[in-house]
Amino acid sequence: MNEAELKQKAIAYLKSHYSEDTVRMDVRKNSVTDGSGELHVDCTVLISGRESDWTKWFTFSKGEVTRMRWQMR
pLDDT in the model for residue 64: 98
Q: Amino acid identity, residue 70?
A: W
Question: How much helix, strand and coil, in percent to the nearest 5, is found in the chain?
Answer: 20, 60, 20
In the chain, pLDDT over 70 holds for what percent of residues?
A: 100
pLDDT of residue 1: 87
Averaged pLDDT for residues 59-72: 97
CATH architecture of 3-72: Roll (3.10)
Give the global pTM.
0.95
**In the chain, where are the structural domains located?**
3-72
Please state the rounded mean pLDDT for residues 24-37. Answer: 98
Supply the mean pLDDT for the chain.
97
